Amino acid sequence: MPLRILGERELELLGDVIAHGPLGSVGHGRMVGRFEREFAATVGARFGVAMNSAMSALHAAVITAGAGAGDEVICDPVVVFGAMAAMYANAVPVFVDVHPVSWNMDPSKIEQHITERTKAIVVTHMCGLPAEMHSIMQVARRHNLFVIEDCAHAVLATYAGKCAGTWGDVGVFSFQESKQLSLGDGGMAVTNSEEVAGQLALHASAPRFASVGYGLHYNFRMTEVTAAVGVGQLERIHGYIEGFRAVGRAYSEGVAGCPWLTLQAGPDQAVNTYHLWGCRFDGDQHGVSREDLQRMLAEEHCEVGFYTGLPAYRHPVIAQRLAHALDCPCYTGAQNQYLDGLCPVAEDLAPRILLAGTWVTLDHARATAEKLQRVIRRLG
């Protein structure tokens, strides 16, 4: 493990959908509701709202937070998806720098970015390592801010014994093909608020004929077929997570003692479930060049590689101001200029992140770790 298993159980559930009739959740579908309930219970939330992708769920969560034109949404700058969700809602992303070792949002830097326009915080649990949610929630509650957790990497990851996604107002999970719970595509929002669940559901199930025109709601619903696979895969998730963690440990053993590779790490109360394994490259401080490392990784056929190298605000959609939100005439704030030096830790970190996938067997991970050790020895 982890090996993705799609077998008799999934076929049985799909057969139930075919025999029952509707392939869509509108009307008399049963499987989406079942998947919502069972997934929410698995992570310890009261309500689940299934959607066609995590990006859709993030978008719906930002809308539910009440963020729109002229409003601000605080995001972390290592990944771009929280910022995208804000801009989809015509809100402006405001970036808060990350911790250099955990790669997650630094709670001590949030408050200085809060203004009268701030509506929400989107917190990413990077690679499966939970952010410091206790401190983040303290800041959010002091300022009455809506908290959205991006858990696309973090199924069953925990902070202080509580699952990622259940600390804030909404937790968003991804079921895209590469993720820990893989359905080909799909997403889920979880919440402990019945009111919030109802607002999210407007975008997961609309437009229904009776509700058309009563609000600007989206059509993000999941199909019964996807949900059936989800129910089957959810029964296997604890085994998958155990496998991901074993793979992560194997990779970590491969870099043990290397002075120029530093593992991603959080506080003791953060339990990583390793959608990705990662470490930070500081070879330039030890006479090891990025180019030499890349060349030797290729020569050893070692499946470890560098991240995009870009903080979120250097992606073209933001840097070239391609989103309407960034030029909204009602917005006059200074925080959306996104100049170099905005998040110095993220700018230094992004081109240094080395990642490896965890959807591999433990034997494969150990072989990759051995290749990585050979590269480290060759580079001295």
Q: Which residues pair with 189 in a beta bridge?
A: 49, 172
Res. 332 pLDDT band, cuts 50 70 90 = low
The helix/strand/coil state of 147 is strand
Distance, in Å, from the CA atom of 150 to the CA atom of 199, rounded to the nearest integer, reads 18
pLDDT of residue 21: 75
pLDDT of residue 147: 98
233-255 pLDDT, tens per residue?
999 999 999 999 999 999 999 99
**% pLDDT > 70, the chain:** 94
**% pLDDT > 90, the chain:** 84
pLDDT of residue 208: 54
pLDDT reading at 1 higher than 60: no
14-59 pLDDT, tens per residue?
999 999 878 876 766 789 999 999 999 999 999 999 999 999 999 9
pLDDT of residue 249: 97
Percent helix, strand and coil across the chain, each to the nearest 5: 40, 15, 40
Distance, in Å, from the CA atom of 167 to the CA atom of 162, rounded to the nearest integer, reads 8
pLDDT of residue 322: 86
pLDDT reading at 334 higher than 80: no
157-212 pLDDT, tens per residue?
999 999 999 999 999 999 999 999 999 999 999 999 999 999 999 998 755 555 55
pLDDT of residue 2: 63
| Least confident interval from 19-28, 117-126, 145-154 | 19-28
What would the mean pLDDT of 322-331 be, rounded to a whole number?
A: 77
238-309+345-379: CATH topology is: Aspartate Aminotransferase, domain 1 (3.90.1150)
Distance, in Å, from the CA atom of 77 to the CA atom of 79, rounded to the nearest integer, reads 6
pLDDT of residue 335: 56
Q: Which residues pair with 360 in a beta bridge?
A: none
DSSP conformation class of 218: -
pLDDT of residue 248: 97
pLDDT of residue 372: 97
Domain 8-237+322-335 maps to which CATH number in 3.30.1280.10, 3.40.250.10, 3.40.640.10, 2.60.40.10?
3.40.640.10
Sign of CA dihedral 186, 305, 274, 9: positive
Model pTM score: 0.95
Query: What does the radius of gyration of the chain's CA atoms come to, in whole angstroms?
Result: 21
pLDDT of residue 70: 86
250-303 pLDDT, tens per residue?
999 999 999 999 999 999 999 999 999 999 999 999 999 999 999 999 999 999
Distance, in Å, from the CA atom of 294 to the CA atom of 27, rounded to the nearest integer, reads 53
- Domain edges within the chain: 8-237+322-335, 238-309+345-379
pLDDT of residue 29: 75
What phi and psi values does residue 180 have, to the nearest 5 degrees?
-65, -40
Q: Which of the two residues, 25 and 232, has the higher pLDDT score?
A: 232
pLDDT of residue 327: 79
pLDDT reading at 141 higher than 90: yes
